[in-house]
Amino acid sequence: MSLKVCVFVSGSSGNCIYIASEQTAIFVDAGLSCRETLSRLESIGGHPEDIKAICITHEHDDHVSSLGPLFRRIGADLYANSGTIEGAERNDKHKGLPWKVFRTGEAFSVGDLKIEPFSVPHDAYDPVGFVISSGASRVGVVTDMGMPTELIRMKLRNCQVVVLESNHDEPLLKGSARPWALKQRISGWQGHLSNEQACQLLADIAGPQLKTVFLAHLSGECNKPELAVRTATAKLAMCGFPGVLVKLTYDDRASELAEC
């Protein structure tokens, strides 16, 4: 069995990831407009009826803004933990949706996909990352987190494809015109991962199994794509894994497709 992965959008303006086996397809997050989500799905040969579930990492608007329209269009099951649902329903447009509730730390299945939600440190109600697997194929998704934890390392260590936040370059963040309080939030333990932190996490999880890394949630103001890729590639090569493909994600178009 194999899994296909395409990051439809990633960044502060929206987040949505497509993951599919030969039998089952899901979205992780719904932060891209319904129309554009389905357009990008069509561009990779997918169809709305293929999508069996939308799995939400946390309630921030860039991850759930199109949840209602997308649900009404495709009718896929909606999965989140109770904290995320509570946070999402603080916005009236998300009230009344027919949620399927998972417990953080307990795996559940959608078709032939096994989905493992695990806790991540971020300033949301109960944010999670996911490991999605089918057979021996494993994809790890951690798009928003302030710091790596041993749990995150353990979950990502056996994945062939990892979607990992590499939000900012520390000197660029410090030198930006952003308010001091925002800089503190971003660099704090519940904020966002820097290039350097992402690279150290890659060094901790890299092994013969790792084939592709998608760098996600890059800041347009406090990061540079070529810098993020260069830093990650150099770190992986230093650890003895120069063959790992490091791919970018974008806030205005879909990423390349990866398969494992």
- The confidence score (pLDDT) of residue 1 equals 64
In this structure, the strands spanning 137-142 and 128-134 are antiparallel
CB 186 within 8 A of CB 168: yes
pLDDT tens digits, 29-51: 999 999 999 999 999 999 999 99
**Amino acid found at 212:** T
pLDDT tens digits, 200-213: 999 999 999 999 99
pLDDT tens digits, 80-96: 999 999 999 999 999 99
CB 129 within 8 A of CB 144: no
* Residues 257, 83: Cα–Cα separation, whole Å: 32
CB 259 within 8 A of CB 229: no
- What is the average pLDDT across 228-237? 97
pTM (2 decimals)? Answer: 0.96
pLDDT tens digits, 169-225: 899 989 888 998 988 888 888 889 999 999 999 999 999 999 999 999 999 999 999
* Residues 197, 120: Cα–Cα separation, whole Å: 14
| Structural domains for the chain | 4-259 (3.60.15.10)
Cβ partners under 8 Å of residue 167, min gap 6? 186, 192, 193, 194, 217, 218, 219, 222, 223
